[in-house]
Amino acid sequence: MIALENIQFHYPHSSVGVHDINLQVETGEFLVVVGASGSGKSTLLQLIAGFLTPLQGRVLLDHQDVTQLSCGERGLGIVPQDYVLFNHMTVLGNVAYPLKVKGVRQGERHRRARKILHDVGLEALEHCYPSQLSGGQQQRVAIARALVFEPRALLLDEPFSALDASRRESMRQELKHIQRQFGVTTLMITHDQEEALMLGDHVAVLEQGKLLQHSAPHQLYTQPVSEAVARFIGRTNFIDAQVLDSQRIETADLGILEVAPHAFTVGQTVRAMIRPEAIIANPASDIANQAPATVIERQFLGAQQRHYLLCGTTTLSLESASPPEIITHVALPPTHIHLFNR
């Protein structure tokens, strides 16, 4: 278990850092921290790892306060972004190295290293050197090295950034399998929203050093707590509106829209959000919130197609696996519209 309590940190002569972070990763959980460059996610990982010390707050591992302990004393497995494998050592030597540092005898450390290489499917490569491995194989060696001494938790820093798109997809699946196989508490940082939603049991969104939302992937996507989260996680449409009552808003181009019950006050200006895949093309007559639409652009995305539609002066994007050839109207289902403060 990893717990951060009221963590504050900023770099000297700068406001850049993290601010009042409270976050918990349960035992065996896979948490992904996602954010844009400069959001504070790397700083957060370094605070957990022990490379940085918070100015305020506590870092706990399995309920033990480790805030003042060094990195080596925390018992964490760390996979850096560039893997940092020793080029003069074989795969076996790299994986066994943490055990050597801990004073484990050669026979025992090689036995344990070989076992974990078998577990991650690299037993045939134990005599190879890093230069002889693919990027994906190097990554698995780095993960095996981080797991060989049975760490309290595993930290991963943008682990797929050096891989091409096709290899990145397969390695995501492999990492999830390894994490479940070992049951190790895992925290990974990334800037890739798709990666976060695919891998995380929970996802934490950071922006400018602040934790915006921490929830399960489906909840994060379908129920973002703010416009900032909605914009960062997935594609979306925003429409300016004014609240008419607890279940209706008025827009400039789409007229009056029905929405799910909310707590905004009458007359308040809000921003309405709806995901592209929630918009219905050429809806049946009994579906609410219909408006005429003109297609201004089509994009083929493989399994999906994206249409940009003009409704008055408002541009909406619609995504569907099999959209109709001609789109004349769209509907915005009330239960898929979310409102945010402007």
The tens digit of pLDDT for each residue in 144-203 reads 999 999 999 999 999 888 777 778 888 899 999 999 999 999 999 999 999 999 999 999
Residues 190 and 315 in one domain: no
Which stretches of the chain drop beneath a pLDDT of 50? Answer: none
H helices, E strands: number in the chain: 8, 21
Domain boundary, last residue among 211, 229, 247: 229
pTM of the model: 0.92
Domain that holds residue 241: 235-341
Question: What does the alpha-carbon distance between residue 341 and residue 190 come to, in Å, rounded to a whole number?
Answer: 28
What integer pLDDT is reported at residue 122 of this predicted model?
A: 93
Structure tokens at 193: 């929203």
Q: What is the DSSP letter of 72?
A: G
Domain boundary, last residue among 229, 262, 289: 229
Residues 318 and 175 in one domain: no
Residues 157 and 66 in one domain: yes
Residue whose tokens read 């943008």: 158
Residue % of the chain over a pLDDT of 90: 87
Residues 248 and 208 in one domain: no
Residues 202 and 269 in one domain: no
Residues 322 and 265 in one domain: yes
Q: Which of 201, 185, 196, 206 is nearest to 75 (CA)?
A: 185
* 47 within 8 A of 7, measured Cβ to Cβ: yes
Q: Which of 232, 191, 215, 208 is nearest to 40 (CA)?
A: 208
What integer pLDDT is reported at residue 170 of this predicted model?
A: 85
Domain containing residue 219: CATH number: 3.40.50.300
The amino acid at residue 247 is: Q
**pLDDT single digits (tens) 43-52:** 999 999 999 9
